[in-house]
Structure 1
Amino acid sequence: MTILWALVAGLVVGLLAKLVLPGRQPVPLWLTVLVGAVGAVLGNAAASYFGVRHTGGIDWIRHLLQVGVAAVLIAVVSPAYAARNR
């Protein structure tokens, strides 16, 4: 069940990251989910490092870090994926 939640979180974080980035990213859905999951894990690690992983209420800073890291990863992966498929 943990793997299923990781995939769902990766999908949500990855799609939000693509939404934040300007323009079109030629990245398939499977890669969006993978990058989103990695972004979520690295965002959680960054939130723990900064001491904002667990706050009162909704952890907005942690979620912003997750989406931000995933957006950076998609910005890096997208041109490489587009160049590979030419």
Structure 2
Amino acid sequence: MEQVKLIWDFRGPNAIKIAEHHAKHLKEFTTTESLENTTCDTEQINPMHCTAFLITPKDKMDFIRERLKPNRGQLYNSKS
């Protein structure tokens, strides 16, 4: 199953807290929309740049992208 990683970028001194809060809402969205096989989390690139991300099957990408407007996305390989 091909997966994509949808990414929201946050920058500034509060980036990690904002990314964590956004990831919480991403998890709520996946529950509300009954989306299966998804993963939501955060990643700190550096102290001033953090991301919230949602990994989902590629066939759900358009549905999520239209509603949540991620900054970017990439193909996701779970083995890496």
**TM-score, length of structure 1 as denominator length:** 0.32
More helix per residue: 1
More strand per residue: 2
Q: Which has the higher contact order (CA 8 A, sep 6+)?
A: 2
**TM-score, length of structure 2 as denominator length:** 0.34
For the pair shown, the structure with the greater C-alpha radius of gyration is: 1
